[in-house]
Amino acid sequence: MAILPEVKKHYGRLKFFINGEWIESKSNNCFENTNPATGDVIAEVPVATEAEVEAAINSAWNAFKKWSNIPFRDRADYINRLRAKFDEHHEELSRILSQDHGRGIDDARGTIDRCIENIESASGAMYSLYKGEHVEQLATGIDCYLMWEPVGVFLILTPGNIPMHAWSSFVPYALACGCPVIVAPSWQCPVASEAMFKIADEVGFPPGVLNLLHVGTNFELNSRIISDSRVAGVGFIGSTAVGRELFELCGRLGKRSSINGNGKNHIVVAPDGNLDAAANYLLRGCFGMTGQRCLGSDNVAVIGNIYDDLKDKFLQAAKAMKVGFGLDETSEMGPLTTLSNKKKVENFIEKGLNEGAKLILDGRELKVKGYENGYFLGPSIFEGVSPSMEIAKEESFGPVSNLIRADSLEQVIEWINTNTEFGHSACLITESGKNARKFIRECNVGNVGINAGIPQPYAFFPLGSKRQSFFGVAKSRMDSVRMFLDQKTVTLRWV
């Protein structure tokens, strides 16, 4: 296996996509985007001006009247062509994602697969929901039916950790439902976001249906868009802190929202679990995508006397992981997405040491030859972690694992339900159907895995987060159609 070539070394000054055209921004406020494996600048990114924000809103609003009224089968054809374009450009999108985000090429290819699944799911939603419901002769001479109608323009805010997957978790569904979008991606992965829009542009959507702006860290621009009366709501994946602010804003304004925030996820290994398989699940669950996965875990609760055996297997497997450039097909883990993210994880590790946890594998010592300026950290493993420690309550969002000794499954379920405010995911490694059923029924989280390290649901299931991991009227993916569509009932009397 060789190091794959980058699609481009440098993507120049990025443009906005407004009203079906690629626009050179007039902004003098720009920031640089880097390749996290090398630290090299790969793009300059302008921050939208007020006039450009207004142009995007106006474009989407004008498009709504037309897009929501085109024949059903014509809109379905656009969505199916979008799926075909993602498939056609699969490898190109994968390499751009790896270069911009840092994840390994296998993870990147898997991401494009997930995007295609979301587009397929959006197409399927059209054929199921748009049929509505109908009751004939409800009473003498009276018929009644239910229809679904597009709500309006939506702002979609995508995060730096899953820029493409988050896009596909909202945008295809909005378009399928007849709702134009304005996408404002995270400052961390703007090249990946532009790449998706270029692919979508090949489909030939009507002007204004898709709009792209970059706002950098000027988050007031997002509030400005949401506050506009022509915008119906927002789809967001990011931090709980920002999500709460958006949810409060939407509440005051009467806007619809799907707000997906942080988690503090757990993988639990029961005494009857397969330890070899468990070690592999832990590698993927704790260190996959360099720990920057929404459904990744950093708390590993080990029940009973298997602790030492599991620790040894996990430690040896983690030490053997190859960390390197994502486009090196032999790499198993890439860099953190930004230098600031790397520093946050280093601070998390320092906090754990100050709290008295023992670092049995220190990823801060890693050096990747030829990539000395990259934002790399190797896998780090703590032991001696207690549930009362802050590192057991806060999300590391990096390649860090906390080994926690547990006495019983009941004890671990209590930790999952009460030790943090989040309710994103939890996994159990077991051979016991009784224990698996107990875990599924009693864990107050939205995504449960049994004999899995990442409880990733297929696209036609929602991402079922709970508690402070989610706010809003509908979850992402298939469930988001409940945000993009509204119900209307019709009662007819002809007799």
Instruction: Read off the tokens for 440.
Output: 């599924």
Q: In angstroms, rounded to a whole number, what is the distance separating the alpha carbons of residues 212 and 183? A: 5
- Among 176, 232, 171, 209, smallest CA distance to 66 is for 209
Question: Who's near 220: CB < 8 A, 6+ residues apart?
Answer: none
For residue 204, report the phi and psi dihedrals to the nearest 5 degrees.
90, 35
Q: In angstroms, rounded to a whole number, what is the distance separating the alpha carbons of residues 296 and 459? A: 18
> How many CB atoms lie under 10 A from the CB of residue 72?
12
Catalytic hit among 115, 189, 294, 443: 294
DSSP H/E element including 300: strand 299-303
> How many CB atoms lie under 10 A from the CB of residue 320?
10
Question: Catalytic site residue 294?
Answer: yes
The three-state DSSP-derived secondary structure of 75-104 is HHHHHHHHHHHHHHCHHHHHHHHHHHHCCC
Q: In angstroms, rounded to a whole number, what is the distance separating the alpha carbons of residues 97 and 114? A: 13
Catalytic residue list: 294
